[in-house]
Chains A and B, each alone.
Chain A
Amino acid sequence: MYRQGDVLIVPVAEEAVPSHVAAAPREPRDGRGRLVLALGEVTGHAHAVVGPGELVREPGPFGPFLLHLPQGGRVVHEEHGPIALPKGWFRVIRQREYVPGSVRIVAD
């Protein structure tokens, strides 16, 4: 697994990817042609993949996003070093914080 700031990217075995994912809609790329894994609302800074790949919103235990990189790829962010990923499937997890009574998403 790989951590870039508040995003954790966890390899998922191809056999473990739920079968409905094959037919699920793909997330659109942003204006710069990137797959955005997480976006900062104010700075617009993004954890993003450049290059070939697919991103699927996945509500189940393999969510909230599944990333497919058939040839491997690179995750970039304006404030964090890039991370090279091998080819395969990955679960993309956003960091959260404990709040008594609820849980909130972290924004770095």
Chain B
Amino acid sequence: MVASEVSEANGFWRACAARATPADRVAAEKGVRLAYRRAGLDEPERVVWAGSPREAVTLIRAMTDTGPSVRDAVRTTPWAAERARLHQELGAAGWSAHWGATGGRLWETTRSLVDRIRQGVLDDLLGTVPVPEPTADAEAPERLERKRARAEIQLILLDAVLGQHDAPWLAAFPTDRAPLDGLGEVCRTAGWWWPFAEVAVVCERPVTLTRDEAGRLDNGAGPALAFPDGFALYAWRGMPVPAAFLAELAALTPERIRAEENAELRRVMLEHYGYDRYLTDSGAQPIDRDETGTLWRISLAGDEAVVMVEVLNSTPEPDGTVRTYWLRVPPSTRTAREGVAWTFGVSAQEYQPLRET
């Protein structure tokens, strides 16, 4: 492929991984059946749909007739074969460059989303309440049961084929022919899925996925990721937050922010409330101001101070106003120039832009 085709294909796979529309069930089931045949297996007797990975795990735990997992044959073996083939064809350096230009681009964002979903399923199914500590002679039965359930759920989660979230690695391979065409079809049309000898359990895609420009889960007004069965994750700029916490954000006060003992939640509160508003409301004075911006400091009891540079966006908005943005810098920062320079990893002396837009 020429470079522009690679880049266009990356855009396609990136969109697959982020799609939040109902699955194309007919196409997905065809893909599932094709993947079994490519693996030399009989097609599953039935395909069962789940509203989310959480519901899929619950269904699988309750099923007694799934037969063994065939994930290795359906996914891992053909992936390894294709990887070996390309590695052979391109050489080690060529393969590494190819991966860097394709799957490597999509990997990080998707992997962190997958990790968040796994953790969310575990938390939802097990609850996050602490269990009793073990006593001297024996572990409490409740604790043993929790451990067993956790291990069981983790194993099921690791047995998933990731459907739309397989997009990063599928981007590196041809999916219009054997052996990856079935997997590619499910990737384009559905969410996670579990291949067992007798049954395939396939998930819907999310109905909501909101992320920030860096690709992190981010929504201050509701779930950042939600599935049709109600399974949802809440996050603010990538940081997991409890659902109830978001409701509280609307009614924040500086006193409430100062009273929050969890430093991470307090940071989210500050960002949501607005640093500028917080500084105005608490009567703060800037500690430095120069042509690069303004440096502010918020002292917090029992925690390191929040030191931020307020930077002007040099290009005016369409309405003529100039947007400012706030970046947190190390608490030791003394001047605005030093702070802005730090955000780019250069020294205050070095930081001398000729032109800024």
Interface residues of A (CB under 8 A from B): 1-5, 8, 10, 25-31, 33, 40-43, 45, 57, 77, 79-83, 93, 95-100, 104-108
Contact = CB atoms under 8 A, between A and B. Distances in A.
B344 A8 contact: yes
A79 to B, nearest CB: 7
Q: 7 shortest A-B CB distances, which residue pairs?
A: A28-B3, A107-B213, A81-B357, A41-B215, A107-B214, A25-B97, A40-B213
Interface of B: 3-4, 6-8, 11, 97, 100-101, 109, 211-215, 238, 263, 267, 304, 307, 313-315, 325, 327-330, 342-346, 350-357
B315 A31 contact: no
Given A31-B11, A33-B4, 6 more contacts: A1-B351, A2-B354, A5-B357, A40-B213, A97-B327, A99-B328
A78 B214 CA distance: 16
28 contacts: A1-B352, A1-B354, A3-B314, A3-B357, A4-B356, A4-B357, A25-B100, A26-B3, A29-B7, A30-B8, A30-B11, A31-B8, A33-B4, A41-B213, A41-B215, A42-B212, A42-B215, A45-B213, A57-B100, A79-B315, A80-B314, A93-B346, A96-B343, A97-B343, A98-B342, A99-B328, A106-B343, A107-B213
A98 B355 contact: no
A92 to B, nearest CB: 11
B356 A3 contact: yes
A98 B328 contact: yes
Contacts of A81: 314-315, 357
Contacts of B351: 1
Nearest to B327: A97
A26 B4 CA distance: 12
Contact of A108 (B325, B328, B346, B356): B325
A83 B355 contact: yes
Contacts, number: 107
Given A80-B315, A81-B315, A95 B343 contact: yes
Among B263, B343, B352, residue most surrounded by chain A Cβ atoms (within 10 Å): B343
Contact of A29 (B3, B213, B328, B354): B3
Give chain B's interface secondary structure class. mixed
A26 B7 CA distance: 13
Contacts of B354: 1-2
Of the listed residues A28, A31, A33, the one surrounded by the most CB atoms of chain B closer than 10 A to its CB is A28
Nearest to B102: A28
Greatest chain B CB density within 10 A among A33, A93, A100 is at A100
Contacts of A97: 327-329, 343
A28 B11 CA distance: 13
B3 A2 contact: no
**Residue in A5, A82, A98 whose Cβ sees the most chain B Cβ within 10 Å:** A98
Nearest to B339: A98
Nearest to B313: A5
Given A2-B355, A25-B100, A42 B213 contact: yes
Contact of A1 (B6, B213, B214, B353): B353
A80 B311 CA distance: 14
Nearest to A7: B344
Nearest to B15: A44
Given A42-B212, A80-B315, A99-B328, A27 B357 contact: no
Contacts of B109: 41
